[in-house]
Every structure is written in C-alpha cells, then in structure tokens.
Amino acid sequence: VKLIGMLDSPYVRRVAICMKLAKLDFEHEATSVFRHYDAFRQINPVVKAPTLVLDDGQSLMDSTLILGYLGLLEGAGERLRSFRLTALALAACEKSVQIIYERNLRPVEKQHQPWVDRVHQQLSAAYGELEAALAAQPFSDDPASLSQAAVTVAVSWHFTQRMLPEVVVARDHPGLAAFSAHAERLPVFLATPHG
Amino acid sequence: VKLIGMLDSPYVRRVAICMKLAKLDFEHEATSVFRHYDAFRQINPVVKAPTLVLDDGQSLMDSTLILGYLGLLEGAGERLRSFRLTALALAACEKSVQIIYERNLRPVEKQHQPWVDRVHQQLSAAYGELEAALAAQPFSDDPASLSQAAVTVAVSWHFTQRMLPEVVVARDHPGLAAFSAHAERLPVFLATPHG
C-alpha cells in the first residue's frame, strides 16, 4: 500500500507513525496538496491528505477512517479516554490549520481577524483540555506501549509548535511539551520527521 | 447521554440518525456553536458540534469518533467500501462548510475567490466519486439495512442541497438525488430533520 501526503501534515504523520509502530509495510509518497495539486488529483480527485492507496488501486482518505480500516484506532486501553484525547488533538490540528491557511492562502487584505480570534480561542481550549488530561493521567513513557492517542497528541503538539509557536505557548503546557520532547526522540518519530 | 448541536450540521445529524437506528437512548440539545457560543463553551470549551455528553459528565467530540465509541461506525458489510463512502461524504460536508463559512462568516471584501474555486473543485470531485460509486453499487433500499455510510452520504447530500443547491447540481447526480429522496422519507430521517 501507499500513503500519500507530506509529513508536515499532522494527519499524514499520525498515520505514518501508527503504521510503523504496527509494523505494516507501506510506501510513503510525499505529494503535496498544494505544490503537486494536479499530481495529487490523479491519485485522489478530492485532493486530501492522507490518502491510502491499496494494492488493488482503491483509495481511502481521512486519517481516522484510515486508522480504523487498518485496525489501529483502538488500543488495548480505555476507549473513551483514548477517543477523547484523539478528538482534542484533532481539533487542535484543525484549528491550527485554519489559522495557517488564513495567513498563508489569502492576501493580508482578505484576512478576517474575528475569524482568527474565534479559532484561536478554540485552539487554546483544546490544548488546555489536553494539558489538564495529561496532568491528571500522563501517557506511559514506555515506547512499547505508545498508543494511537499518544501518537496523535504528540504529532499535533509538535505541528502547532513548529507552525504557530507564538500562538500556543509551550511554557503554559509543560506536560504536553515534556511528552512531545520524549516522543520526538523515539526512533519511530525521528524516522518520520515533520516536513 | 446528551447529544449537543444543531441538526443543520450534517455531523450532528449523522450521529443523531445512527443513534436512533441503533435504538440508543439520548437527549438532543439544539445548542448552536454560533448563536449560543458561550453556552456551548460551558459544555465543551472547544465549541465543536457534535459533542456527546455522557452520564458521568465526560464529553466526546468528532462525529466519527463518537460513532466509533458507540460501536456504530462499522456495519456488517464491506469495511473498505463503507469507510470510502463515509470519507467521501465527510469530505463533501467539509468542503460545503468551507464555502458556507466563506460566504457567511466574513464580509464580502474579505472573501477570497481562489480559495472558493479550489474548495468548489474538491467538493465537486467528492460528489462525482460518490455518484460513480452508487452507480456501480447502489445502497440497499431496505430501511432495515440502512448502514452508517448510507446515512452519512444521505445527510451530506441533503445538507449540500439545502445550503448550496446552485453549487452542486442535483440533475448531474441522479443516483445521489434518488437515494437522498428515499432516505428523507424514512421515519428516522423525518424525525431528525435538517435545521
């Protein structure tokens, strides 16, 4: 199978890392929904990353549905907590992407501050909830028990810190910053770098 | 449990219909992420619909993760086809919402046509793929075998037709239009109307 998309997308990166942790064989194609729009369109006309292309040519998109299809969505642990943390991290990714798109995909005179303010508040709330959840019950530090939720939280935080470090301040989120630093030093994260 | 959000959101409506089909008891609270932002924030600080509030007060968001938590994501049928159609319908919802937000959440002088054109092309591609998939293999007309994917496709199509009828033209998508018309006449759809 092929995983299509750039690793500077947290959605692509979470799938890639979870597939590697599960020792699923795949080929990664770093095709960009922006720089290689026409090439991406040949693979998936909806032009959304990640896209998983199966050996029979059928394709599947949406990182959560891809992980679900591969049987990687649910860990051995508590399903509600796992899904809650995943949803918070995905909301944080979405709100980060909305701010990045507002800044990068439209000229300054088309940017709309009330929209950015709203999204910023939602983004801060998502990371605030995640920080509180990790303070109450940290992720295991054992690389062998790295869950899908932990991967998604780590990838999300790293993405936002790389792209919007002044928007979500690391020193206000010591639990997330520490877990991210731990995760980004693991071989599977180092082998699947952002960007 | 409580399901929070307005039924004019296709994400809320798909969860509500799937929960009713599964005969899960829930209370629906029609709280809007726009008109009741502060009230929504008290329930879920990230302010995203749908939010599912469990009896112990814990909350979960993201329609796909809610359905997964409730065990309603996978039907008895073919998982890949089900997830492919779900992903296409969710992409169509997302692209519809992006066009609606562009029109409704920012003044005309802040709207950016190249962005709208890109999203419009993605939206058309998603419905084109769905139309082709239904032409190759229609959904069952038997209300007793209505799958999560079929609900999501029907809700998505109805949403786009209600909100953007001139953007995605019904006569170009006869399979989707016919299945949607069938679904919207079913008691569970009539009892869970858009808006």
ipTM (interface predicted TM): 0.96
Contact (CB, 8 A) for B148 and B75: yes
SS3 state of residue A141:
coil
Predicted local distance difference test score (pLDDT) of residue A195:
83
B83 interface with A at CB cutoff 8 Å: yes
Are A91 and B59 inside 8 Å of each other by CB?
no
Contact (CB, 8 A) for B78 and B140: no
Residues of chain B with pLDDT under 70: none
Predicted local distance difference test score (pLDDT) of residue B96:
97
Amino acid in the structure at residue B43: I
For residue range A78-111, list pLDDT tens digits in order. Answer: 899 999 999 999 999 999 999 999 999 999 999 9
As a residue count, chain A comes to 195
SS3 state of residue A70:
coil
Are A46 and B80 inside 8 Å of each other by CB?
no
Are B111 and A111 inside 8 Å of each other by CB?
no
For residue range A22-81, list pLDDT tens digits in order. Answer: 999 999 999 999 999 999 999 999 999 999 999 999 999 999 999 999 999 987 778 999
**A–B: how many Cβ contacts below 8 A?**
109
Predicted local distance difference test score (pLDDT) of residue A104:
93
Residue B28: strand pairing partners: B3
Contact (CB, 8 A) for A123 and A90: no
Q: Which residues of A touch B54 (CB under 8 A)?
A: 80
Residue whose C-alpha is closest to residue A111's, from A121, A100, A122: A100
Predicted local distance difference test score (pLDDT) of residue A94:
97
**Residue A47 token pair:** 């032009």
Average pLDDT over residues A183-187: 97
Are B86 and A105 inside 8 Å of each other by CB?
no
Burial environment of residue B11 by CB neighbours within 10 A (0 to 12, 13 to 18, 19 or more): buried
- N-to-C CA span, chain B: 21
Tell me the C-alpha distance between B89 and B158, whole Å.
Answer: 11
